[in-house]
Structures are given as C-alpha cells and as structure tokens.
C-alpha cells in the first residue's frame, strides 16, 4: 500500500473531490482525518468508510477560523500521534461578474480558499518538522492559472495558492517536506451540476479528452503527490484538466 500508516488530513472531505481522496487514501493504507465544516455529512461519510474497514475519523473544522483549525489539528494529533500529509482541498465559489461582485462575497471566498490554506498548513507544520517528513498538497484550479469570466474572487485565491505553494516548496524542501498543488479542470462535482447541459456540452467540445473529469482523477493526483513516488517532485502545479488549457 502506497500510504501505509501515514496520517493524512483532508479538508473539505465530506463530498466531491475531498471525499474521493479520503476513500483513495484510506484504501492505500492511510489513517484519514476526514475534515469538513458540515458535521452531519462529515460524520456520515466517515462512518461509511469505516464500515468498509478503513481507519477514518471525522473532525469538524472551519478552515477560515484559525482557532477552529488549531483545535482540529490538535485533535488529529491526539488521535493519531502526528501528521504526515495535508490535502488543502476545502473551497467555495461565489461567482459574479466584476461589476456585481460584492465585497462580502469577495472576502468570503478569500477567507476559505486562500487564508484557510495558510491556516491549515501553518498549523500542521510543527508535526511535520518534528518528523522531518511531510507532504503538503493544495488545490488550485485552471481558473487560477488562466483566469475565468465571473470568477474574480475564485481565480485570485487559486492563483494565490500557486504562489504560496512555490514559496513553501523553497522554504520547506530541505526540511523533508514536499509542497505541491493540483489544478483541476472542469470536474463532475456538485459545482458543475448547477451548469445547464447545453453549456456543459460546449465545455466538453473544448476538452481534448472530450469529457469532464471525475473526482477519482483528482484523488489519484493527490495520491501520487502524497506517496514516495513523488519524492523528487516539489513546487509543481499538476494540471488535471483533460488538456483544456494547452
């Protein structure tokens, strides 16, 4: 198993990409801290994975609140003894064209998608430094690299994740901690379920592979970056987008 006995925190793991990652990591032998703001869904998903024989525990967290993050990390360490892997997957959207984007919605997305990544990474760092080994994986987006109409706030946060990833890779690489990001394209998640089918058809036509990605595609990218197979990968942004941005 590629993650045998590694302790992994995955944020935003009650559904979508995070849930797929939790299942993938657990199957590969990891002890998974499934974390999310939604207590009901988080407990349900953790129970479902435990019923399959996996070592998964739910921890509630609001990544935008530092006290909540510190409490979650402390509880994970009490439960599992340390932290090896962090997947900064939690994220929200509040899309609007620039002229109509409110200050409140701009800030809410920054608080979760950008500041939340900072909070979680800084909070797990002492445990990784003590071990002299760690994997930090953050979710960016093709929107953060190329921009996207109606996503000023979202694109800004995902571009910021790229900048933080490269900075931390330079700071932490010599300490045994690899830091990388994944940039998903258009995925089959709750976000795209709200998009009209005719728009999705147009999107599919722009993707060389001819389809939207599946949550498992991103989970497998997380798995690679969390495993020993990526020992010499540091500071990269792995695009998992079907080639849409070539």
- By annotation, the residues acting in catalysis are 154
CB neighbourhood size of 233 (10 A): 15
Tokens 């500041």 belong to residue: 115
Residues 89 and 117: their CA atoms lie apart, in Å, by 8
184: tokens are: 């998903």
109 closest CA partner among 66, 157, 149, 143: 157
Torsion-angle region of 16 (φ positive above 0: left; ψ -120 to 50: alpha; else: beta): left
Residues 37 and 26: their CA atoms lie apart, in Å, by 20
Tell me the C-alpha to C-alpha distance, in Å, between residue 6 and each of 56, 135, 146, 148.
12, 10, 34, 36
* SS3 call for 171: helix
139 and 91 Cβ atoms separated by less than 8 Å: yes
* 37 Cβ neighbours under 8 A, 6+ residues apart: 60, 61, 62, 63, 90
Strand partners, 123: none
Residues 10 and 18: their CA atoms lie apart, in Å, by 6
First to last CA, the chain: 34
């Amino acid at each position: 198993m590629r993650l045998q006995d590694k302790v992994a925190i995955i944020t935003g793991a009650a559904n979508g990409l995070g849930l797929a990652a939790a299942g993938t990591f657990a199957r590969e032998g990891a002890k998974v801290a499934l974390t999310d703001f939604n207590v009901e869904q988080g407990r349900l998903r953790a129970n479902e994975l435990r019923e399959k024989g996996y070592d998964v525990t739910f921890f509630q967290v609001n990544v935008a609140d530092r006290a909540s993050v510190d409490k979650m990390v402390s509880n994970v360490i009490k439960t599992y003894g340390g932290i090896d892997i962090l997947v900064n997957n939690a994220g929200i959207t509040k899309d609007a064209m620039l002229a109509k984007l409110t200050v409140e919605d701009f800030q809410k997305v920054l608080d979760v998608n950008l500041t939340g990544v900072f909070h979680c990474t800084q909070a797990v760092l002492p445990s990784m430094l003590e071990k002299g080994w760690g994997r930090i994986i953050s979710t960016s987006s093709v929107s953060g690299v190329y921009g996207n109409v109606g996503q000023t706030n979202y694109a800004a946060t995902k571009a910021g994740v790229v900048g933080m990833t490269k900075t931390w890779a330079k700071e932490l690489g010599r300490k045994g901690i690899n830091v990388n990001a994944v940039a998903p394209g258009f995925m089959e998640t709750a976000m795209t379920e709200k998009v009209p089918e005719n728009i999705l058809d147009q999107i599919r036509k722009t993707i060389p592979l001819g389809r939207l990605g599946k949550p498992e595609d991103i989970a497998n990218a997380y798995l690679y970056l969390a495993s020993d197979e990526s020992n010499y990968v540091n500071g990269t942004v792995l695009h998992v987008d079907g080639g849409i941005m070539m």
